[in-house]
Structure 1
């Protein structure tokens, strides 16, 4: 059995199990053990230590022993059940018989966990940042509707690493899967009242426990097997983690653990009410040392016990908060920087929350990549509306006002056009308005500023002309994403042209809205093949360009911005939505020429004379990628499309 330091929660040894909780607000604490049928079989009292840690060691306990905590507090002298917030495996129990006032069983039970596992010598892929292609998927949503998977594996960890799924990822050129939350979650009260569920999982109840709903058997072992298999095929695993709030909601919400154990875990106002800087009812105080310790313990568990390659932190501005202010020198960031385990994995921040001082794009410390919403908004506005060239030019070059090239590769922009929240790529070109009625919130939820364009018809049904415009805009958007400097982030559903029927906030839809479509139409299949080829082209060109931008041993890359006639762009050119070109030249072998034409008529671009011949790598007016050499001094770019050229070999 693996020997580890005794942290919070339960820690198994060869002799038994240590239990430890931090609980300054409680009067008594007992751990109740359960058999396989969920029947209580023993009760042990924990002793309070001088530092408000409650501890007990119980001999003879092995793995998979069920347990829950029973506490009394000064505000509620009657005993109440608590779930171990640090548990490594949890399971929700059937609703207890409530025919009397006495609740005889807890809603949630944790299980003692042994983390011994045969990793078969498999090492982490360690993909370089410039070669990283992120793909965001939901474990259940991505595999549930795949008819090529065995029925019992659809929607599971095993389904995500099945040979059928692996072949798809490898063919697509995906290097890194970013998994939407796999930690155990609870449904919000308002969803339970509407018989809905938190499908996305951004409502954590136990940070370190793989969610049972994605397992065909033991979630701990199955999750590790998934990661081991993905690593064996060269694919990294990035976890989307939620350490900004817990499932205990706000004032009057449920009590699962921290509310009773340590009420100072949450930010409060002057009246003692929960501050809601996350939109989920509560906000964790990560400057509170016990809370910081609990989060770091959870992160280390995922890296050491599951071998994950990194984390994407939901609403990460909360992690740098000292109440109403954000600091990149916060205790959390310092702890990550100084931790020999956590400092070596990929770190991605969603650089905002909804509280004061909550938008911190570009302000995170070195070693942290950041999701770039300005990249998303400006490229959408350029292709789908009327944004000028000046709106997208900085993002083509890595959004350097926010993410300067001298900080690469330690700090890149995470470029994205579609995420789990918001429209999918297909819906972005098919709907002008959100259609969220199924969420039961009168279509008032979800972001109203989508910068989408249905190309003339609302909804998926459309004429051939409208469908052709949609497909071309999808190609424009994906080419802009994959050939901009930075780390590209793809929504896995977009490889399938999946539609959520215009729902831009499908967090509570455990159905075909979120279950990615694998039965592709002819057009959808053609687009998937095109996008897979585009990713492969990206991988042959962009890493060298990105390295050249930061190579301090040679002359820096040169950047030239030109009008179609070949003259330098001036202020008047930048102010309008008009065609332009950009040449990045590192050396004779590494150059990239972008020709962008957002107009409704064709434009002929004069090509730079520094290179005598070019190869057209991408032409978004074409629905197939076929490289062709260009020997003449100009290049025609058709309406509302873009062309990417590289030096002819």
Structure 2
């Protein structure tokens, strides 16, 4: 450490030895213990920052098993701090220690400040990567914050909503309330804004049981985005895995964000709504070797990130191995990286009371060396953990490599984002694909989840997600329009499976608009009534548009924010979505626990599931092979239900016959002349020619318009 540097930074004084556990800054009224892992460092300084941003440093002289530690009295919650770490500068061998770079605490519970666009925070000099950059970074990056963890949860407990009863709503904390006129302006775009009564009332009224928050662990925007005047809106550039992102806090960034997040969770739980976090452990905001030095790179770069495996007999290869597309891949096989991930997950469950996690690019975390390994340390550790194995675990079962595509292959009890459901249903409603695949997805994707003891509830069905078109854009654009991202429209997928219905983008053509709204309703109803767990992307139920941008990760503005005005909303789609979720909630037949068997569940009874041809007969092999078949009836029996009641009694429910027709022409759908159900009544329809309440008896027919969903409920369930 340069003596000149430390004369400038402040006085070095004594510090108590402290202890090596727990990692991070642990506050008590008597003292605060600091512990950080840097196994190959030669010197570590703890740096405290006053309100005037004056820096005072304390050298940590105690090291235990690679953990540097010390304790200080008279530290108060809200104290900002960071580390400066010295050691070898040898990038060729994975050592990038640089005491001129202020480092965040990987276990910090809160973060203050952010990265500034013109930041000298890179570890190496731009003109010569082999030479260390000695420019001080403290004025350009954030600090960790000491936090008082106490909070009055008022008896809050996990809700434990069953998977088959779950309806997930994926939303961004900021964009969901930023334009909400019933949220007080200072709270818009914050954790407190999401906890407002008007917001919670909307979610409950829609029928949501869980919100899946886009990443809220502290993130920083990529330098390239900042240089273009943009920022990372999705938050998937994480750097501090214990800290709720301060930009979503109305309570400041000195620890108030922690209490505000907890208050949000408590209010959502009171309303019966679980909180699931989208977590990004597969890479960090430090990007590739030429990225910024913010935390891990300056502490244990060689251990924390995966490297290209060198050829036999070759030396260390310092090239980052990247299967995330973000410049680096976290090495979840490394003991301390694994420990950090597990400690972080447990912290969010036990201290922040979240109910589950959706793991971004999960395949990247399952690798031992290069290979996907379902016996990897992370999966085994989570499966045996007494806390984590009982929360909701959702995998995005792929990464950016070809061999990382694992849909249907994650081990129990993991649920998965099912992109095969997404693609099949999108194709069906634009008049493509095969009816056999459609039926498989509607019934819960048994081809993916029935062979290893999992159920249809392990399939998280979705039509859209944050990454891609909204439902409105899916029916309004043939092509992506990402010009605002500043990458000449090269970014984002071209595999959208979308259809603009005759005009690209918004149009005044009333016929096209009507067709689009009906198709949006068809997509939403299909999602809500399929077997499996539905996931709705925020605003899809009311016609949110991104103007054709299918990669709005850097659009922290009206392109991405939910528009709550009624002027441009598709409120008819909202009402139909809400009605479909109400049917799902009220009728267990529409959210089955067991796999359908396609046969009677009791002797002489109806099939539990039957696929009907519009002619009024069960589908045949020839029908399944008919490439032009664009209509199908899905009969689901509620008599009897296979799950007994609370006292072991046999329960029954209404039965349903749902017609899906994606062809342009109307069909005459006949009701099978059988003894299962004597009559049905229409309870939901996207066809304006079929009104709710219409009754159709066995042997009769009903005309269903092209591109429509008609839901019919059995009449002898006590309904008039």
Given that 2:546 and 2:560 are in contact with CA atoms closer than 8 Å, whether structure 1 keeps it comes out as yes
User: What SS is found at the alignment partner of 1:547?
Assistant: coil
User: What SS is found at the alignment partner of 2:58?
Assistant: strand
Which residue number in structure 1 is paired with residue 286 of structure 2?
Answer: 248
Q: Residue deviations 1:328-374, cap 9 Å, x none?
A: 22111111111111111111110010135200111112121100000
Q: Residue deviations 1:128-159, cap 9 Å, x none?
A: 11111000010100000111211111111111
Moved more, 37-46 or 213-222: 37-46
Given that 1:317 and 1:358 are in contact with CA atoms closer than 8 Å, whether structure 2 keeps it comes out as yes
Give the Å deviation of 1:324. Answer: 1.8
Report 1:3-402 matches (<5 A).
Answer: 6-49=21-64, 51-75=65-89, 79-92=100-113, 101-102=135-136, 105=139, 107-217=141-251, 218-262=256-300, 263-269=302-308, 270=310, 271-402=317-448
User: What SS is found at the alignment partner of 1:306?
Assistant: coil
Q: Point out 4+ residue stretches in structure 1 off by more than 6 angstroms.
A: none
Which residue number in structure 2 is paired with residue 573 of structure 1?
Answer: 623
User: What SS is found at the alignment partner of 2:351?
Assistant: helix
Instruction: Write the distance in 2 (CA, Å) between the matches of 1:39 and 1:387.
Output: 64
Instruction: Write the distance in 1 (CA, Å) between the matches of 2:619 and 2:452.
Output: 25
2:671 is the alignment partner of 1:607:
yes
Give the Å deviation of 1:627. Answer: 4.2
Q: Which runs of 5+ in 2 are unaligned?
A: 1-18, 90-96, 121-133, 311-316, 641-651
User: What SS is found at the alignment partner of 1:32?
Assistant: strand
Given that 1:138 and 1:200 are in contact with CA atoms closer than 8 Å, whether structure 2 keeps it comes out as yes
Instruction: Write the distance in 1 (CA, Å) between the matches of 2:304 and 2:150.
Output: 31
Instruction: Write the distance in 1 (CA, Å) between the matches of 2:636 and 2:246.
Output: 49
Report 1:585-624 matches (<5 A).
Answer: 585-587=637-639, 589-590=652-653, 591-608=655-672, 609=674, 610-622=676-688
Instruction: Write the distance in 2 (CA, Å) between the matches of 1:276 and 1:214.
Output: 30
Which residue number in structure 1 is paired with residue 483 of structure 2?
Answer: 437
Which residue number in structure 1 is paired with residue 533 of structure 2?
Answer: 487
User: What SS is found at the alignment partner of 1:260?
Assistant: helix
Give the Å deviation of 1:615. Answer: 2.3
Report 1:436-475 matches (<5 A).
Answer: 436-475=482-521
Which residue number in structure 1 is paired with residue 635 of structure 2?
Answer: 583
Instruction: Write the distance in 1 (CA, Å) between the matches of 2:119 and 2:326.
Output: 29
Given that 1:368 and 1:410 are in contact with CA atoms closer than 8 Å, whether structure 2 keeps it comes out as no
> 2:705 is matched with which residue: 598, 623, 638?
638
Instruction: Write the distance in 1 (CA, Å) between the matches of 2:20 and 2:150.
Output: 15
Which residue number in structure 2 is paired with residue 403 of structure 1?
Answer: 449
Give the direction of change, closer, same or farther, for the CA distance of 1:374–1:137 in structure 2 (3 Å limit). same
Q: Residue deviations 1:422-480, cap 9 Å, x none?
A: 00011000111000000001101011100000110001123110011101111111111
Instruction: Write the distance in 2 (CA, Å) between the matches of 1:174 and 1:356.
Output: 34
Given that 2:102 and 2:138 are in contact with CA atoms closer than 8 Å, whether structure 1 keeps it comes out as no
Given that 1:130 and 1:543 are in contact with CA atoms closer than 8 Å, whether structure 2 keeps it comes out as no
Give the direction of change, closer, same or farther, for the CA distance of 1:247–1:586 in structure 2 (3 Å limit). same
Q: Residue deviations 1:250-292, cap 9 Å, x none?
A: 1211111211211221111133211110011101110111100
Give the direction of change, closer, same or farther, for the CA distance of 1:600–1:104 in structure 2 (3 Å limit). closer
Give the Å deviation of 1:503. Answer: 0.2
Give the Å deviation of 1:249. Answer: 0.3
Instruction: Write the distance in 2 (CA, Å) between the matches of 1:258 and 1:366.
Output: 32
Give the direction of change, closer, same or farther, for the CA distance of 1:422–1:129 in structure 2 (3 Å limit). same
Moved more, 71-80 or 125-134: 71-80
Q: Residue deviations 1:527-578, cap 9 Å, x none?
A: 2222222211221225665035489xx7596332232123332343223132
Give the Å deviation of 1:625. Answer: 7.9
Give the Å deviation of 1:164. Answer: 1.0
Give the Å deviation of 1:315. Answer: 0.5
Instruction: Write the distance in 2 (CA, Å) between the matches of 1:203 and 1:80.
Output: 19
Q: How many residues align?
A: 643
Give the Å deviation of 1:386. Answer: 1.7
Instruction: Write the distance in 2 (CA, Å) between the matches of 1:247 and 1:208.
Output: 15
Give the Å deviation of 1:101. Answer: 4.9
Give the direction of change, closer, same or farther, for the CA distance of 1:406–1:272 in structure 2 (3 Å limit). closer
> 2:460 is matched with which residue: 414, 421, 431?
414
Q: Alpha carbon RMSD of aligned pairs, Å?
A: 2.4
User: What SS is found at the alignment partner of 1:110?
Assistant: strand
Moved more, 114-123 or 229-238: 114-123
2:518 is the alignment partner of 1:518:
no
Given that 2:47 and 2:82 are in contact with CA atoms closer than 8 Å, whether structure 1 keeps it comes out as yes
Give the Å deviation of 1:504. Answer: 0.3
Instruction: Write the distance in 2 (CA, Å) between the matches of 1:81 and 1:5.
Output: 21
Instruction: Write the distance in 2 (CA, Å) between the matches of 1:97 and 1:201.
Output: 20
Instruction: Write the distance in 2 (CA, Å) between the matches of 1:207 and 1:170.
Output: 30
Give the direction of change, closer, same or farther, for the CA distance of 1:357–1:93 in structure 2 (3 Å limit). closer
Given that 2:431 and 2:662 are in contact with CA atoms closer than 8 Å, whether structure 1 keeps it comes out as no
Given that 1:483 and 1:542 are in contact with CA atoms closer than 8 Å, whether structure 2 keeps it comes out as no
Give the direction of change, closer, same or farther, for the CA distance of 1:103–1:389 in structure 2 (3 Å limit). closer
Moved more, 200-209 or 324-333: 324-333
TM-score, structure 2 as length reference = 0.85
Instruction: Write the distance in 1 (CA, Å) between the matches of 2:299 and 2:550.
Output: 37
Instruction: Write the distance in 2 (CA, Å) between the matches of 1:560 and 1:97.
Output: 63
Give the direction of change, closer, same or farther, for the CA distance of 1:103–1:614 in structure 2 (3 Å limit). closer
Q: Residue deviations 1:312-332, cap 9 Å, x none?
A: 111111221112211222111
